[in-house]
Amino acid sequence: MKYRSLNANAPMVDFREATIRGQAPDKGLYFPMQIPQLSNSFLEALPSMDKTALALQIMQPYVGESIDTNSLEQIVKETVDFEFPLVKINQDIYSLELFHGPTLAFKDVGARFMSRCLGHFSKAAYNKTTVLVATSGDTGGAVANGFLGVDGVEVIILYPSGKVSPVQELQLTTCGQNIKALEVMGSFDDCQAMVKDAFMDKDLNGHLSLTSANSINVARWLPQQLYYFFAWQQWLQMGFTTAPVIAVPSGNFGNLCAGLMAHASGLPLQHFIAACNINDAVPAYLRTGQYQPKTAIPTISNAMDVGSPSNFVRILELFAQDHQKMAATMKGFTVSDAITQQTIAAVYQQYGYILDPHGAVAYYALESFQNNHPDAKGIILETAHPVKFPETVEAAIGKSIPIPASVLPLFQQSKKSVHMQANFAALKEWLLAQ
């Protein structure tokens, strides 16, 4: 498999090069030259496949010859060695729980896959790789956990000060070893802009071997397709014969874009919903055909506080820049903080199910869609454990959330971060001093 830059002014590369570079030299995102197509025999066998075999078949065409089959099988086995249960909320809405990994967030799959790919590549390299990543919440913890102790790789995480939850902050600031956290006095968009500028700076790239672990990196982005296959597999096992609508809480749009890739490869899903908080540049585009990035506004669903989503260019590419085609496959919804809180409370009172704020945005969006499509059954992607957002969730449901055993040790550790102003000059000075 070869990858091209969506800015169309850089050489094609293989999966290894795309992973190590993160972003093309012309500042474009890498995109596969072909989208692999699923065979009828694969779709027929899918309901009974184990997770490792399924993941290997999906990822192998994208990896190509960059990783041998035996090594790739071990990588995907470690990537998906936890559960992805599809849980019934009510007769029309089901929740695909993506928070059963080590950091209780959907980012675990992409982070684990990418870390193991880079670890594999580093065995043949002489220089240390520096992973530079911006986070609006869960990416940082997942990347920190996935890369912790990986030989030949140093991880530097930028996060917006005061704009991630306490558990999220502890997950990315307490690892030590090869993980460093930079606490930026600004927004996620500031962090993301600083990271992008770093990749384009000649001085830094002469000093460090940089790559990204955000969903701009193909090794972080592409494995997220697996969620949709796991959802479809369980949907069929439950006896459904009609494809579900999928509501995806969306910020940087890597997860939804991965679902659209799976759909383009032949996974028979019915429709997609881009469920956003008030940072809704994409829903606005779906309504109007005009795309206007915004300045991010803080909300209680903080992982979605992205005003200029990086992966939207990939979605545009999937639909050949055709607004009508995109709007026929995907609908966007904007959900306020007040409605998010009301949804958490209502779903708990009616069904006993505890949503996190991001899942609540998806639930409300799906329910709104079903009001106009009463026969549609659907799935929300529940992307983070509610314990990561205790103030919001506990206020809505009127009780404390039990803390998972895996989280308890975090509260015995001390946060370690480097404060930094929200500008690239400060980041460059710090990186050159390392």
In a domain, 3, yes or no: no
pLDDT given at position 405: 83
Burial (CB < 10 A; 0-12, 13-18, 19+), residue 109, is buried
Given a cut of 50, the residues of the chain with pLDDT beneath it are none
**Do the beta carbons of residue 219 and residue 29 sit within 8 Å?**
no
Whole-number Å distance between alpha carbons of 335 and 434: 42
Average pLDDT, the chain: 93
Which pLDDT score, from 0 to 100, does residue 146 have? 87
End-to-end Cα separation, the chain, in angstroms: 35
- Bridge partners (DSSP) of residue 155 are 131, 179
Does 323 map to a domain?
Answer: yes
Domain membership of residue 76 (yes or no) is no
Question: How big, in percent rounded to 5, are the helix, strand and coil portions of the chain?
Answer: 50, 15, 35
- pLDDT by residue (tens digit) across 37-58? 999 999 999 999 999 999 999 9
Structural domain includes residue 236: yes
Type of residue numbered 251: G
Residue 362 lies in a domain: yes
Based on the residue annotation, tell me whether 202 is a catalytic residue of this protein: no
DSSP annotation string for 50-80: -HHHHHHHHHHHHHGGGS-HHHHHHHHHHHT
**Cβ contacts of 279 within 8 Å, gap of 6 or more:** 251, 294, 296, 297, 299, 304, 305, 306, 307
Q: What is the pLDDT of residue 127?
A: 67
Q: Which domain holds residue 312?
A: 83-105+221-397
Give a yes or no: residue 361 inside a domain. yes
Domain count, the chain: 1
pLDDT number for residue 432: 93
Given the residues 2, 77, 88, 107, select the one marked as catalytic.
Answer: 107
- Assess if residue 19 is contained within a domain: no
The domain that holds 231 is classified in CATH as 3.40.50.1100
In a domain, 306, yes or no: yes
